[in-house]
Amino acid sequence: MKDPRGRWSQVYTGRRFYPFDPRPEDIFIEDFAHALSLECRYNGHCRVHYSVAEHSVRVARWVEKWSGRNVQQHRQLILSALLHDASEAYLKDLPTMIKEHPEMEFYRKAEHRVMLAVWERFGLSDFIAEQGGKDPILVKKSDLVLLATECRDIMGGEQAGDWHLSEQPLDEVVVPWSNRKAEREFLKMLKAFT
Question: pLDDT tens for residues 43-100?
Answer: 998 999 999 999 999 999 999 988 776 667 789 999 999 999 999 999 988 888 899 9
Q: Are 135 and 143 in contact (CB under 8 A)?
A: yes
CATH of the domain at 160: 1.10.3210.10
9 three-state secondary structure: strand
Q: How many CB atoms lie within 10 A of CB 21?
A: 15
Give the pLDDT confidence score for residue 95 in this predicted structure.
87
Give the pLDDT confidence score for residue 75 in this predicted structure.
92
Q: How far apart are CA 122 and CA 7, in angstroms?
A: 25
Give the pLDDT confidence score for residue 59 in this predicted structure.
97
Q: How far apart are CA 11 and CA 102, in angstroms?
A: 29
Average pLDDT over the chain, rounded to whole? 92
> Using one digit for the tens of pLDDT, what is the confidence trace for 103-129?
999 999 999 999 999 999 999 999 999
> Each residue of 167-179: b (16+ CB within 10 Å) or e?
eebbeeebebbeb
Q: Are 139 and 80 in contact (CB under 8 A)?
A: yes
**Domain assignment of residue 153, given as a range:** 9-192
Q: How far apart are CA 187 and CA 192, in angstroms?
A: 8
Domain membership flag for residue 68: yes
Domain membership flag for residue 113: yes
50 three-state secondary structure: coil
Domain membership flag for residue 1: no
Domain membership flag for residue 4: no
Is the confidence at residue 38, as pLDDT, over 90? yes
Checking 13-20 for CB contacts under 8 A at 24+ apart, the result is 17/90, 19/90, 19/91, 19/110, 19/114, 20/110, 20/113
Domain membership flag for residue 3: no
Q: How far apart are CA 149 and CA 144, in angstroms?
A: 9
Number of domains composing the chain: 1
What is the reported pTM?
A: 0.93
Which pLDDT band, with edges at 50, 70 and 90, does 181 fall under? Answer: very high
Domain membership flag for residue 18: yes
Give the pLDDT confidence score for residue 159 in this predicted structure.
55
Q: How far apart are CA 70 and CA 52, in angstroms?
A: 28
